[in-house]
Amino acid sequence: MFKSGRHFLQIPGPSNVPDRILRAIDMPTMDHRGPAFGDVGHQAITGMKAVFKTEQQVVIFPASGTGAWEAALVNTLSPGDRVLMYETGHFATLWRTLAESIGLRPEFIAGDWRGGADPVAIEERLKSDTSHEIKAVCVVHNETSTGSMTQVAEIRKAIDSAGHPALLMVDSISGLASIDFRFDEWGVDVAISGSQKGLMLPPGLSFNAISAKAVAAAKKAQLPRSYWDWDAMRGPNEKGYFPYTPATNMLYGLNEAIAMLMEEGLENVFARHARFGEAARQAVRTWGLEILCSNPKHFSNVLTAVILPDGHSADAFRRTTLDHFDMSLGNGLSKVADRVFRIGHLGNFNDLMLMGTLSGVEMGLKISGVPHNRGGVQIAMDSLTNSATAAAAAAE
Ligand SMILES: *Cc1c(COP(=O)(O)O)cnc(C)c1O
């Protein structure tokens, strides 16, 4: 059926790709071994170091985020190693399954999918591991299935208070470039990210940031690896080249994305997402609906997951917003399937896109017969105008 106007893609990744990035990708393929390519590769690698806030190693894989998850584990660990993971939601669960399938022994701290990882539980478990059998602690920074954020600095503190030598691995696939991430300052050992969320690119690139401690662990790690081998990247990367064909056109796009992030300024990018998160949450509360994340300290500014009242199908509601308003909202995954829908407010996104999205949600609630209070959109407008006025006053 013909649809007029622009499709509203408001899922929490893949996010909308700005025209500037589409134009940058739309170039002839180049010789990835030729003299001009080194600059492209070098710019991408150094640019990503700035985004991760690290001066240590960064590698780029032509792969989805899942590839960089696997790379983090196979480069640093050996068969049968114990890893401590935390059940924040669907993505933490998938990472655990991956760990198991490559011969690790993950220990999963159970969570209720309504908050980030609990540093107290992690510290307690590490303290009881007196023989240091646990080789890595793995957490998800922004759990995209629930809209919960883990306070990474607190996890670092928990590991240090326990006096435990485990590596700290953080999946920031949907956090990076939307909410603050400080690889060096937070003492992260391996970070994992992907191109299609805060980085505003199409899916297809993934990243590891790697600490000196993780590089040392890689020297002893016995899990088999070839495509994911960090060491094979090191030599060619020094001059901006890769051991196999990189995703050349995606790297043009990545360099444009990094330029856009630096033009806006990373701190401004984070502040922008914070405004969206706050306004979206105020709208949800006004509707009288429940936010899936129950811990305000862990609210995500990347997306908001909303629980529908008992007896109402979130998937039927999403179907309504798609049919009536040509808007895609995120679905509930596994445990919360059909119970929640997710509003993505990340990446190449502005106030009016948020208002359009929230309007679509409020109209959709009405059409679907979901009990709610009116006025969420109005409250979100007030929130955005108040914070815009405050920001303008601060800038004067
Ligand atoms: C999107 C996402 C993934 C999966 O990444 P793919 O690119 O689909 O492999 C993993 N973890 C988190 C937190 C994500 O948001």
| Average pLDDT for the chain | 97
Q: Whose CA is nearest to atom 2 of ligand 1?
A: 173
Are residue 258 and residue 315 in the same domain, yes or no? no
Q: Residue 376: is it exposed, middle or buried by C-beta count within 10 angstroms (0-12/13-18/19+)?
A: buried
Are residue 69 and residue 190 in the same domain, yes or no? yes
Report CA(383)–ligand 1 centroid distance (Å).
Answer: 30
- Tell me the CA distances in angstroms from 380 to 119, 178, 288, 355, 362, one per residue in order: 32, 20, 14, 8, 12
pLDDT digits (tens, 9 = 90+) for 280-321: 999 999 999 999 999 999 999 999 999 999 999 999 999 999
Judged by DSSP in three states, 176 sits in coil
Judged by DSSP in three states, 162 sits in coil
Q: Identify whether 1 is part of a domain.
A: no
Report CA(170)–ligand 1 centroid distance (Å).
Answer: 12
Ligand 1 site residues (CB inside 6 A) read: 13, 64-66, 91, 140, 144, 171, 173-174, 194, 197, 203
Report CA(54)–ligand 1 centroid distance (Å).
Answer: 22
Q: What is the pLDDT of residue 157?
A: 98
Alpha carbon distance 149, 152 (integer Å): 9
Q: Identify whether 241 is part of a domain.
A: yes
- The number of the ligand 1 atom at minimal distance from the alpha carbon of 196 is 7
Are residue 277 and residue 255 in the same domain, yes or no? no
- Of the residues 219, 241, 262, which one is the last residue of a structural domain? 262
Judged by DSSP in three states, 216 sits in helix
Residues 6+ apart with CB under 8 A from 171: 65, 69, 91, 92, 95, 138, 139, 140, 141, 191, 192
CB contact at 8 A, 264 and 91: no
Q: What is the pLDDT of residue 332?
A: 98
pTM recorded for the entire structure: 0.97
Report CA(171)–ligand 1 centroid distance (Å).
Answer: 8
- 90 has a pLDDT exceeding 90: yes
Are residue 217 and residue 305 in the same domain, yes or no? no
Report CA(159)–ligand 1 centroid distance (Å).
Answer: 25
Q: Identify whether 73 is part of a domain.
A: yes
- 392 has a pLDDT exceeding 80: no
Which domain covers residue 357, as residue numbers?
A: 8-15+266-395
* The two structure tokens encoding residue 107: 């220990």
Report CA(321)–ligand 1 centroid distance (Å).
Answer: 24
- The number of the ligand 1 atom at minimal distance from the alpha carbon of 206 is 7
- The number of the ligand 1 atom at minimal distance from the alpha carbon of 174 is 15
Q: Residue 382: is it exposed, middle or buried by C-beta count within 10 angstroms (0-12/13-18/19+)?
A: middle
* The two structure tokens encoding residue 166: 């485990």
Are residue 340 and residue 226 in the same domain, yes or no? no
In DSSP notation, 42-76 reads: HHHHHHHHHHHT-SSEEEEEES-HHHHHHHHHHHH
Q: Whose CA is nearest to atom 6 of ligand 1?
A: 65
Q: Whose CA is nearest to atom 10 of ligand 1?
A: 91
Q: What is the pLDDT of residue 391?
A: 74
Report CA(204)–ligand 1 centroid distance (Å).
Answer: 11
Nearest to residue 348, comparing CAs of 8, 5, 64, 4?
8
pLDDT band at 38 (very low <50, low <70, confident <90, very high): very high
User: Strand order in 327-331's β-sheet?
Assistant: 8-10, 327-331, 340-344, 303-307, 290-291
Are residue 34 and residue 168 in the same domain, yes or no? yes
CA 336 from centroid of its chain's CA atoms: 19
Are residue 206 and residue 325 in the same domain, yes or no? no
Are residue 274 and residue 227 in the same domain, yes or no? no
Q: Whose CA is nearest to atom 12 of ligand 1?
A: 173
Residue 282 is part of a domain; what is its CATH number? 3.90.1150.10
**Number of folded domains in the chain?**
2
What DSSP designation does 314 have?
Answer: H
Residue 134 is part of a domain; what is its CATH number? 3.40.640.10
Report CA(91)–ligand 1 centroid distance (Å).
Answer: 7
Alpha carbon distance 311, 283 (integer Å): 22
pLDDT digits (tens, 9 = 90+) for 173-200: 999 999 999 999 999 999 999 999 999 9
Are residue 129 and residue 229 in the same domain, yes or no? yes
Q: Identify whether 156 is part of a domain.
A: yes
What DSSP designation does 353 have?
Answer: H
pLDDT band at 389 (very low <50, low <70, confident <90, very high): confident
- 393 has a pLDDT exceeding 80: no
- 396 has a pLDDT exceeding 80: no
Ligand 1 pocket test: pick from 66, 142, 176, 205 the residue with the most ligand atoms within 8 Å of its Cβ.
66
Q: Identify whether 377 is part of a domain.
A: yes
Are residue 327 and residue 235 in the same domain, yes or no? no
Compute the half-sphere exposure of residue 381: CA atoms within 13 Å on the CB side of its CA: 8
Q: Identify whether 3 is part of a domain.
A: no
